[in-house]
Structure formats: C-alpha cells, structure tokens
Chains A and B, each alone.
Chain A
Amino acid sequence: AQSVTQPDIHITVSEGASLELRCNYSYGATPYLFWYVQSPGQGLQLLLKYFSGDTLVQGIKGFEAEFKRSQSSFNLRKPSVHWSDAAEYFCAVGARGSGGGADGLTFGKGTHLIIQP
C-alpha cells in the first residue's frame, strides 16, 4: 500500500522568501504524484502533477516540484512567496490502477504555510 509523509506540519516564511515543502512517498513502483492547495473552507486546487517524463514539473502560481526517485521525494518549491500563498498544501500519490490513471489518491496530512509580512 502506498503512503505519503509530509514531515512539516507548519512552516513560516517571510513574504518574498523562497519556499520548499517536503514530501516523501512509499510506493512499489513509479507513482503518479500531485500537489494540491486548500484555502480555508475551500476545496482542493491542483498545483501540479507528475506522471512521467521530465522530473522537474512546472505548475500554476509559480510553483514547481522535482521528482527524485532515489529519495522517494517530490518536494514543492517556489522562489518567492506572496501573502496569498498562505494555505494548506497536500502532497498525494496515485496508484497506476487498472485504468492507468489516478485511481484513489493517498494524501499526506498536509503542511500549513504561514506568510510573515
């Protein structure tokens, strides 16, 4: 069974500083990997995904993530954060199910990002 670990429950970053959110996964083969963002009281918005190919993935809102197979990691980065980036961030892994797609995602517990002025 797959699992996802987000080691940092809370992270505080100054506005304009760089950001890296950590994500480690456990899966028997190459998984599908995702980062989602959730604002308070809202649903989840997909930031980026990795299915195959280039291990450096570009997403929306200036985010990127790098898949490192040797470290079983998929860390999320942004060079300069904005106050509007304050939210909950979830890393997720999807099994390559019978349909070949993202059947039944397994989520980490999330990292709460706080932006200091």
Chain B
Amino acid sequence: NAGVMQNPRHLVRRRGQEARLRCSPMKGHSHVYWYRQLPEEGLKFMVYLQKENIIDESGMPKERFSAEFPKEGPSILRIQQVVRGDSAAYFCASSPLNAQGKNTEAFFGQGTRLTVV
C-alpha cells in the first residue's frame, strides 16, 4: 500500500503564474487535508475535503487559493497569480474511516516545496 503521494516534490514558479499541487491519498482513504509550512514554522491547516465535497476551508486564504478532490483522480491545490509569500512547503494528508465511520489519524505525504521567484 503506497503512502500519500504528492507531486511535484519541488515546483518553481515566477510571480503571477499558477501553481498546481497534486495529492493522491492512500488507498482506501476518503479524506484529504492540505497544510502549509512556512520556514521555521509548524504546519498550518488550510482545507479538509472528501471526494467532491469541501468539508472545512477555514484555513484557506480568501483569494487566489482553491482546492478540489474530484470523484476520480488526485486532490488538487491550486494557487493563482503566485506571489513570493506563497513560497512554502505544502503537505497533503489523508485519513481513513474507522469501524464507526469516523476519520482518525492523518498520514502525511512528503510535501511539495513551492518556490516563487
């Protein structure tokens, strides 16, 4: 069972371009989370998704950022018109449902390191 897969591992974008970060959850996991890690900081929650449904986007910036988790394919975190301050490591995590149908601990991918130049 492969772990949470994120690609690309490293992404360089010029200011004003779009960044697309992909996350394939572990097999059988139906919940995906996106986190952002700035240098010397812990991870900050951004968004929590189920397939075709955003559960909680309270951590997402109001503009330029969007996330989706389609019925088929990976979850995508999209950043439009990137700025230098978007440079960070972006981590995806997925979690399974337990026997009671509740999600439990999150398993993290290795992250995508976005550099805006």
Residues of A whose CB lies within 8 Å of any CB of B are: 4, 34, 36, 42-46, 49, 51, 90, 92, 97, 99-110
Tell me the bound Cα distance from A63 to B64 in angstroms.
Answer: 41
Query: A101 — which chain B residues lie within 8 A by C-beta?
Result: 95, 97-98, 102-105
**By DSSP majority rule, is chain A's interface helix, strand, loop, or mixed?**
strand
Query: B4 — which chain A residues lie within 8 A by C-beta?
Result: 43
If A43-B111, A101-B103 touch, whether A110 touches B48 (CB-CB below 8 Å) is: no
Task: Judge if B52 is at the interface, Cβ distance under 8 Å.
Answer: no
Q: Are B107 and A106 in contact (CB-based, < 8 A)?
A: no
User: In whole Å, how far is A8's beta carbon from the nearest beta carbon of chain B?
Assistant: 13
Task: Judge if B110 is at the interface, Cβ distance under 8 Å.
Answer: yes
If A99-B103, A104-B56 touch, whether A43 touches B108 (CB-CB below 8 Å) is: yes
Q: Are B107 and A46 in contact (CB-based, < 8 A)?
A: yes
Q: Are A44 and B91 in contact (CB-based, < 8 A)?
A: yes
Give 5 A-B contacts (CB < 8 Å), ordered by A residue: A34-B105, A101-B98, A105-B33, A105-B106, A110-B42
Q: Mark B21-61, 1 if CB is under 8 A from A, else 0.
A: 00000000000010100001111110010000001101100
